[in-house]
Amino acid sequence: MWTPGTTVTLQECWKDQVWAARPLRVVDDNEARALLWMPKGTVRTIPGYPEGADASIARCDRTIANLSASSWEYVEHVWDVSCLWVLEPNPYFGIWITWNEDHEHIGYYVNFQAPYVRTPIGIATMDYVIDIIVEPDLTWSWKDADEFEQIIDRSIFSTAVIDAVNRSAEEVIGRIERAAYPFDGSHLDFVPDPSWPHPELPSTWDVVYASPKD
C-alpha cells in the first residue's frame, strides 16, 4: 500500500507502449480503494498526432488513428480542474470527484478503463474512450459514445473489453441512480494538504512496467 502524500504515476498502456501518463498524489490507500489527488495545473503526457499525420485531423480521428497504428507523438497537457480519483481494485472504471479552482464541487466523471495493476512507480491501466459525466444533482450523460462506436466498428478493442465496459456501465449507472458510494456525498469535504506541491512525472514515465488486465 502507498503512504499518503506519495506521488504515483498512472500509466495508460497500449500494445506494450505507454499511451499516456499522469502523476497523482496519494490521499489514502487500502484494500477497498485508492484515493488519488490530481490538482488543477498538473502536467500530464498524452498522445498527440500520429507520426506524419495532418495536424488538422479531428480528435476522434486522431485517437482512432493512434490506436490503430500503435504509433504517436507525445504532447504535454495541463489539467484544468481538480479531481479526487476513486479507484477500486477490479471494476472497469475509475470515478473522479471534481472541483473547480474555487474548490466548488462541479460533479463526477466516470472514466471507463482497464482494471489497474500496480507497478514500481504506480499504476498501469488503459483508457477505453467512453465516459459518463455526472452533474452534482446526479443527472448523467454519456461522453464520447460515438467515438466508442467507431472503435467497436473497427475492432480496435476486443469483444471481451467491450462486454466488460457494457457490464461496468450498468453497474456504475446503478450506483449513480441509487446515490451509492461515492455518489452519496462521500469525500466532498476533502481538502488537500496545503503543503503538497503539484505532483510531477518521473523520468521513467514512459517505461512499461506492467500491462493492464483485459
Q: Give the mean model confidence (pLDDT) for residues 195-211.
A: 96
The predicted structure's pLDDT at residue 58? 76
Domains in the chain: boundaries: 7-178
Q: Give the mean model confidence (pLDDT) for residues 140-162.
A: 95
Q: Please name which of 174, 163, 165 lies closest in space to residue 140, comparing C-alpha atoms.
A: 174
Q: What is the homologous superfamily of the domain 7-178 according to CATH?
A: FomD-like (2.40.380.10)
pTM, entire model: 0.94
pLDDT per position as a tens digit, 92-112? 999 999 999 999 999 999 999
Q: Three-class SS of residue 12?
A: strand
Is the sign of the CA dihedral 117, 121, 122, 124 positive or negative? negative
- Residue 210 grid cell: 506492467
The predicted structure's pLDDT at residue 63? 86
| Of the candidate ranges 59-63, 125-129, 188-192, the one whose mean pLDDT is the lowest | 59-63
The percent of residues in the chain predicted with pLDDT above 90, rounded, is 85
pLDDT per position as a tens digit, 53-90? 566 667 778 888 888 888 888 999 999 999 999 999 98
- pLDDT of residue 51 exceeding 70: no
Q: Give the mean model confidence (pLDDT) for residues 17-34.
A: 97
The predicted structure's pLDDT at residue 54? 62
Is the sign of the CA dihedral 32, 108, 113, 155 positive or negative? positive
- pLDDT of residue 166 exceeding 90: yes
